Amino acid sequence: MDLRQINFGIEIETVKRTRERVARAVQSVVGGEVRHVGSPAGFDPWEITDEQGRTWKVVADGSLINVPGHLRAEVVSPVLAYADIPTLQEVIRAVRRCGAKIDQRCGIHIHVDAIAFDGRTLGNLAKIIYKQEPLILNALGVNETRQRNYSKPVSEDLIRKIERRRPKTKEQLNRIWYGYHNRRPQHFDSSRYHGVNLHNVWYRGTVEFRWFEGTLHAGKVRAYIQLVLAVAAKALNGRAASSRKRRFDPQSARYDFRVFLLHLGLIGDEFKTARKHLLAGLPGDSAFKRGRPKPETQTAVEAEFPTEAGPQTRPPAFSGNGTAETDEGGAP
């Protein structure tokens, strides 16, 4: 499955502007009508029915405790297709222009349609994330509080159970995830607070990715969406996945993550901006595993006593079918 074929949804938390004001900012992009639903009272939702008949929501979020309740606004999108990403970006820009802000408690959650997944491919997804999660968390700059409370890493115990039982169906994986067959999952189940939340598969029919720090930078949000769609497509298309955990190495982190992104298919000009944003926070050099080599010029002492760094290694470039080819045109 191509990543562009996977539907998604997104929740973006903001502060400093009322829900009505944020809702009208959304309407300025998607058109349609705005109405104050107000119920359930705890969420005090405003709804925007866009020109395609889809419903966008702006709701309260109880976790945004740094501001008064009337200045907490979480934008909840309808189900979106890949082609809707530019519209979503314009919504984000409009919300920013209306004066909405982000603080350290704000986050972003991205939901990926789980309809195409079964037990095996959800297992693939868990193993891919478990292997690469140290890199992903560092690339996204996920703070320790978020990791500890709201987006816990994939557990080794879950991976070992998946590898031992090899689930084929969602129901078989349900027993592994909960420890029993949970026929009626509830919204506030404690297992939801993982960076990759599989509880939502049975509660809402999506895989939820909860890692992301809040932002109203439209380009970064696009990059986050492309990352999770690419990971989902990789899990769906693979016959199996390795769970051998990658050690985070600051010297080669940017190189290692670039190779991971290329393996996911985030290649070429369409994903150039995504690579830029996703690699920006990592140390190292994206083109050289051991750091960029020094110029050829050497002193007499250097020539007599060369370093032991050895040859530099550049990351391979990959074609659309996953085979190595000539470099894609330099570092992204």
| Per-residue pLDDT in tens (0 to 9) along the chain, 332 residues | 999 999 999 999 999 999 999 999 999 999 999 999 999 888 999 999 999 999 999 999 999 999 999 999 999 999 999 999 999 999 999 999 999 999 999 999 999 999 999 999 999 999 999 999 999 999 999 999 999 999 999 999 999 999 999 999 999 999 999 999 999 999 889 999 999 999 999 999 999 999 999 999 999 999 999 999 999 999 999 999 999 999 999 999 999 999 999 999 999 999 999 999 999 999 999 999 988 887 765 544 444 444 444 445 555 544 444 444 333 333 34
Residue 95 has phi, psi (to 5 degrees) of -65, -40
Alpha-carbon distances of 59 from 48, 73, 139, 213, 305, rounded to whole Å: 11, 6, 29, 18, 65
HSE of 88 in the Cβ direction (CA atoms, 13 Å)? 28
Angle between helices 272-279 and 253-263 (to 10 degrees): 150
Positive or negative, the Cα torsion across 41, 44, 48, 53? negative
pTM of the shown model: 0.88
